Each structure stands twice: as structure tokens, then as C-alpha cells.
Amino acid sequence: MFDLSIFTTPEAWISLLTLVFLEIVLGFDNIAFIAVTTNRLPKDKQHIGRKLGLAGAMVSRVIFLCFASWLVHMVDPIFTIDLGPYVHGFSIRDIVLALGGIYLIYKGIDELKSMLALEELKADHEEATTGKRRTIGLGQAVGTIMVMDVVFSIDSVITAVGMAEHLIIMIIAVMAAIFLMMIFIDAVSEFINGHPEIKILALVFITAIGILLTIDGLGFHTGIEIEAVGMPLEKVLVYFAMIFSLAMELIQMVYNKRAGDFYREKEIEQAKAAYAEDARAQYQAEAKALFDAQQKGRVAADAHDIKNMPPSDEE
């Protein structure tokens, strides 16, 4: 079925490694979406939800690749809208990107509104007090991830079709990238959901990607392709901005942690010094009280001795 002899050539391995790298880079927005979506699952189902979501994404991409010859024609216009200044021939790719982008904009803004309304904190409080929490089902989460992966993966799959001549190379690249994502998805998701500032950044990123997909589907783009990463210029700029923001946020988190540790150490030192001072003052007070008691005892003993002293011969 597949000609494995192609792996005896260096070109096949270079193509495979390049595609794996591109799949991982282009899959960052998918990971952010999975992290946000599975956070709505019950705690005990989030792990399996992430794994099943990625597995479903892998299946959908492999199916896409199996229809590689049809994918080439996804960019062919099926109808054209002519509004004078605006003329655009819509292909299947454009329609999917526009609809998926609109959903991502809605999802990102809705989740941001939810965070700013403290709905998650209120839900955690409700769960702690009543034992109940509003969640989504596992099937709903996995289905949403699979559907949105179609949107996320269209460009990367089309890129793979254009870069590799053999279907087996494309399938192995997709599977290798997904398996690598499975290894890190839990850590990445917990990190995103465990830090509100990073989650807000991820939601802004999802919204920005949604805007890009929508305007791309509507035909508004520069047409400049950055071949090194296989992405259009506008998407590279958004990725760069988000990576820069993430780097700044991580630096700020490291600074806050170190500053917090520093102040805690100072507070502990001050507490120890205050405790030692209190202990010294208490010891001195107890020593003085003991000394005073001993002195009173001696005075009383001397008075008793004087009182009981026998009269002298002169008397």
C-alpha cells in the first residue's frame, strides 16, 4: 500500500522533520483552544478529554490527507460575490475559515467575559459549598475540538500536501506531531488554566486567530507567505506578538515569584527577630521577678533570724 523505500533517501527524512515542526508550530492555537475547552469538563475527565480531543484531531487530519487530491481543489472558487469595490471568489477553504473564525471570535470573547465576571471563581465556590458545578459533557468537548481542528488544520494540511510528495510522509508527520502534543498537553493546559493572566493571553490569542481566519476567508490578506514557517505574514505577526507577550508575562511571573520569596524571607527573619526579642524580654522579666523574689526571701529570712536571735549578756 505504501512504498517504504522512500525512507532510504535523505529528502524524505528532511521533508518529514520539516512537516513535524510545522505541524507543532501551527498547532499551538489548537492546544490553546483544547486547554480552554476541556477546562469546562469535570476535573476527573479533563485528562481523558484532552487526549481524546487530540486523538480525534489526528483522525480528522489523516482523513483529510487521504483525500489529498481533493484538498488541492478546496481553494478553487465555487461562487463569487461582486459588490463593486469588493470582489471575492469563495472556495470551500474560505467558507470553512470564515465560519470557524467567527466561532473562535465568539468563543474567545465569551470566555473573556466569563473570566471578567468571575464565573469560574464563583463556580469553584459553588462546587466547594454545594458539591455541584456547571460543566459540559465529554462528548461535547471532544466533538467541539474535532470540528474546530478542521478549521485549524486546513492550512497546515494544504501546506503538507504541497511540501511532501508521498502520503505516508504526511500521515507520519501528523501522527508524530499529535503524539508530541499529547505528551505536553496536560502540563500546558494546567499551566494555562492555573494562571489567570496566561489564560487571558490564550483567550486573546484565540480571538486574534479567529479575526485572522475570518478576514482571510473573506479575502482580505497581504498575500505574502513566509516560507520558513509556511504561514502568511499577518499570522506570523500575530504569533510574534503573542510570543512576545507570553515572554513578558513569564518574566513578570518569575519576578513576582522571586520578589514574593524575598519578602517572605524578610518577614520570616523579622518574625524570628521579634520572637527572639520577645523571648529575651520575657526571660529578663522572669529573671528579674525571680531575683526580686529571692531578695524578698532573703530579707524575710534575715528579719526572722534577727527576731529569733537570743538576747546578749549585756542585756
Q: What is the value of pTM for the model shown?
A: 0.61
Q: What is the rounded CA–CA span in Å between residue 81 and residue 87? A: 6
- Comparing CA positions, the residue from 202, 152, 198 lying closest to residue 23 is 152
Distance between terminal CA atoms of the chain?
A: 137
Would you write out the chain's pLDDT as a tens digit for each of its 315 residues? Answer: 555 666 666 666 776 777 777 666 666 777 777 888 888 788 788 888 888 888 888 887 777 777 755 665 677 788 888 887 888 888 887 887 788 788 888 888 887 888 788 776 676 666 555 555 556 788 888 888 887 777 766 666 665 665 555 667 777 877 888 888 888 888 878 877 777 787 788 778 878 878 888 888 888 877 777 766 666 787 778 778 878 888 888 898 888 889 888 888 888 888 888 888 888 888 888 777 777 777 676 656 555 556 665 665 554
**pLDDT reported for residue 31:** 78
Whether 75 and 93 have beta carbons less than 8 Å apart is answered as yes
**pLDDT reported for residue 189:** 80
| pLDDT tens sequence across 201-229 | 877 887 887 888 888 888 887 777 776 66
**pLDDT reported for residue 126:** 62
Cell numbers for 77, please give them. Answer: 472558487
Q: What is the rounded CA–CA span in Å between residue 150 and residue 157? A: 10
- Comparing CA positions, the residue from 51, 22, 15, 13 lying closest to residue 35 is 51
